[in-house]
């Protein structure tokens, strides 16, 4: 099944300043996250941002805040799964979209638990593999395998942007192509 832009929301889970320096390949992850946000903005895809205990772990990393600008409206949470936050679930319900693009850290904790609970709540999580990570590659790979076993779709930022775009030759396609280069 193809993922349609009018049925998708993106979630950026806990990409926070005090943890991010310790994340596996964090510079590469930052680059992908910025490209993904740029692409999602072109496609007018709603974006939800979560922050796990920001008093202790800090806010979302500055590069994302700067790019999101007025769209930076974090949902603070204490639970590992975003789905255990009433504010998050209310925001998701209001959007009324079935497919949930998942990015963030750490893959084997908050990303994994959110993915499983999204499935339990009738959503279809789409894990953007190159936009998630953990402190170790082994933990990321283990989480990806578990999420796949649970029924999540695994994709990457380039594939999902062009899947949502659908048509080449448009101004959106040209803008996305410039981002991906």
Could you tell me which residues come within 8 angstroms of residue 96 by beta carbon, excluding any fewer than 6 positions away?
none
How many helices (H) and strands (E) in the chain?
A: 8, 6
Could you tell me which residues come within 8 angstroms of residue 147 by beta carbon, excluding any fewer than 6 positions away?
111, 112, 115, 116, 125, 127, 154
Q: Which helix (H) or strand (E) holds 128?
A: strand 124-133
From 35, 77, 82, 165, the catalytic residue: 77
Is 82 designated active site? no
Is 110 designated active site? yes
Which residues is 48 bridged to in the sheet?
11
Is 77 designated active site? yes
Structure tokens at 22: 């310790």
From 110, 130, 140, 165, the catalytic residue: 110
Q: Which residues are catalytic?
A: 14, 77, 110
């Amino acid at each position: 099944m193809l993922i349609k832009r009018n049925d998708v929301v993106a979630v950026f889970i806990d990409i926070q300043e005090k943890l991010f320096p310790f994340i596996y390949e964090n510079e590469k992850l930052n680059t992908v996250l910025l490209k993904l946000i740029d692409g999602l903005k072109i496609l007018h895809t709603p974006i939800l941002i979560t922050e796990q205990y920001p008093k202790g772990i800090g806010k979302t990393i500055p590069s994302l805040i700067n790019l999101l600008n007025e769209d930076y409206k974090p949902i603070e949470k204490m639970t590992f799964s975003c789905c255990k936050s009433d504010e998050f679930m209310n925001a998701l319900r209001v959007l009324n979209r079935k497919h949930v693009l998942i990015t963030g850290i750490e893959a084997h904790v908050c990303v994994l638990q959110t993915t499983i609970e999204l499935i339990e709540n009738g959503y279809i999580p789409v894990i953007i593999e190159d936009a998630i990570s953990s402190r170790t590659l082994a933990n990321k790979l283990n989480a990806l395998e578990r999420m796949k076993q649970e029924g999540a779709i695994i994709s990457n930022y380039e594939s999902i942007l062009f899947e949502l775009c659908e048509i080449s030759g448009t101004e959106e396609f040209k803008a996305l192509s410039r981002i991906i280069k």
